[in-house]
Amino acid sequence: MPAIHLKVSGKENPALAKELVKTISSLTNQILHKKPEVTVVTVSFIPDYLWFVNSESLAELKKNSFFLTIKISDSTNLKDDKAKYIEALHNLLSELLGNVHPVSYSAIEEMKADAYGYEGLTIEYKIISNKISNFKKEDNL
């Protein structure tokens, strides 16, 4: 259900990417209660000389950075959970990447359930189908 894209400054590093994905997936499950089996994470590495903060490259600043976006279904998490997630992401990614510029972003994009999905079905359809299925199970239909 969640689709996560992480941009990291620096040279491509498959081992680091794998570690970041495991950390992010675990955190997404723990704090936002998203199922790991439907969590997708992509990682892109951007050279530090092509990443700018206030018109200065990270290479010039001698810093690392990240930009994480996560798409989740609208209204499925409380504000406190989202704030906790953003804080925990920043702390863990800062630890893993080291020397992180303070202007490193995390963004939670809430998608309407009727405009977001996987398997060719909207999340809204999946929610309604699940409720009908549970109703039938409860009534032994």
Q: Model confidence over 80-92: pLDDT tens digits?
A: 999 999 999 999 9
Mean pLDDT of the chain: 94
Which residue(s) pair with 100 in the sheet?
Answer: 64
Task: Tell me if 51 sits within 8 A of 65, measured CB to CB.
Answer: yes
Question: Under 8 Å CB-to-CB from 62, ≥6 apart: which residues?
Answer: 99
Q: Domain of 13: which CATH number?
A: 3.30.429.10
Tokens linked to 109: 């994009």
In total, how many domains does the chain have?
1
Residue that the structure tokens 């405009």 belong to: 115
Residue 53 belongs to some domain of the structure: yes
Tokens linked to 16: 């680091």
Which structural domain range is residue 77 located in?
Answer: 3-115
Residue 76 belongs to some domain of the structure: yes
Whether the pLDDT of residue 141 is over 70: the answer is no
Tokens linked to 70: 């996560």
Residue 97 belongs to some domain of the structure: yes
